[in-house]
A and B are shown apart, each in its own frame.
Chain A
Amino acid sequence: MDFNLTQEQSQFADALRRWVEKDYNFEQRKHIIASDAGVSPSAWTALAELGALALPIPEAQGGFSGTAIDMLVIMQELGRGLVIEPYFATVLAAEFLKLAGQHDHLLEQVASGELQMAAALNEKQARHELFNIATSASQNADGFVINGVKTVVLHGAQAGQLIVSARSSGAQRDSDGISLFVLDANAAGISRREYRSIDGYRAADITFNQVQLPSSALLVTQGAGWPLLEAGCDYGVTLLCAEAIGVMEAIFAATLDYLKTRQQFGVPIGKFQVLQHRMAEMFMELEQARSMATLAAVKLSSEDAEERRRTVSAAKARIGQAARYIGQQAVQLHGGMGVTNELPAAHMFKRLTMIELSLGDTDHHLARFIAQPGFKAAA
């Protein structure tokens, strides 16, 4: 048993951290958020040069074949630095290609940093249900025609290529009949409406109006996309869990520092036991969350899909609980400053809150954990 990072992993983390400290600090980030683009091309170049984009891509496509544990390290650092670039969106979308074993040229472009991607999976009525899909995919002589609307697609407007879930057959909430496609985000019939998210990201609603795709756009057998959709999103959840650990570490450190420096009644407020015990609770939440993020990363590649689903959902549920507690308490302990937009801690709180609501919230994943046959079979 070994919980240590490898030397390569530590070096990767250090390099990312140094880059964040130098070129992606709080002020620089603020400018990026306020800019028209909402993302930073130079930051993207830096991420590519650091190897962060090549890391998850298979060696055969010019990557480093990084594991989920390697990605845990990256996402923690990006979380700590509150990096709002289309990294998560791109890596998540690329995972679908990787799992499908198709479109190697796109993976090569991701590895080299030429291509940004996004996964257009959400729909307005779906809430957290990935299988709840009204967007249709009908087959014709030239391939497939897509119609529908995807909502809150993270970095959907920046992406050059999109992964899209659509329905080939069945009722709106059936897990059978789902197809997955990869397509050019500028294809005829696609319109994208971009907006800011409350945690500083960019997102888009994307309308597909008679979008004609070639047959090669289909990722797995028509109508049989559900296992791929679930597996890809479990990868995404694992990345978000890791990111949340980084954000929680940062907000915890900022709060601890504040407790040691902020004076009231002639002493640092960290001398008050009621605040000390709150910090002790936050510490325990963070450590329990860290354990689950690690477990999820290890079990992600489990050959037993139920084991993967069960662990990933357990992690998301546990980390969601920790993120909410730590975020809210950090704001409370910062007092009036905590509710301003001026401190990094406030932005960390917003990011943690949005992570909890992304790719299934705590209740969603608790229900998914319970729904796995093993929950009752173990009894």
Chain B
Amino acid sequence: MKQSIPIQRIIIWIFLLGALVFIMAPMIFMISASFMPASDIVKMPYRWIPRGIHSENFVKAVAGNDGTYIFIRNLLNSLIVASVVSFTTVLISSLTGYSLSKFSYRGRDLLFLMIMATMMIPFEAIMIPLYMVVTKLGLQNSYQGLILPFLVNAFGVFMMRQYLITFPDEFIDAARVDGMSEFAIYRSIILPNTGPAIATLAILAFRSQWDNLLWPLLVAQTEQMKTIPLYIVKFTAEMHTDEGAMMAVNLLASIPMFVLFFALSKYFVSGAAVYSSRKG
């Protein structure tokens, strides 16, 4: 028994470090390649350490093919869209999740099921009718058009409902006895007590908008309204043989998410607990 412990430990560490190499190698590859001229990148064998810093890649990445520096505007657009969406998702999801878990009006469960069902339709299937809605509202090529279809999502509602189901009713009832209005209960009792769930949801919503490609592709028509994934796709199409510049764009586009990730890693990690800790 005592002998087996070091062996067990070694095996565990071999697995953990093997996984670490597999997961980190592509990330390190992106970083190291973004400092290399294209001719050094697809070369056998790959040299992980760049011979000096090829900063032209970053100049190209930011200035763009046409030197308009639209990258910065696109980055800003992504930040705006993702922040607004993550704000509204939290707000509406918590309100809806509260309603669906703590009230018992007729049709509540049906409504919940129907909202859940929307998770099962792939976006590719509804993009044309959705586009029609947005153009009819005259919102193509605007922030509203980019944001509106994502104000809230079924997963958010699901998560908040599951989280609030286990929220003790006594608190709510006590507040009602104290004469608090229903909205005040939501604002000062429900919202402050859903911290981890809200943080997770906000991060998930932010991430999914940061990642969104297909919808901005349809709606953002001018360069000024495009978002970062569109910039990457466009840049890649134009510069697809300049791998160094390509990787530089990818690296720059990932930095805001990484900053967020490191600043809020507590919520990335603890938030996941929300997911798993709900009782069966």
A and B assemble together:
no
Which residues of B approach A to under 8 Å, CB–CB? none
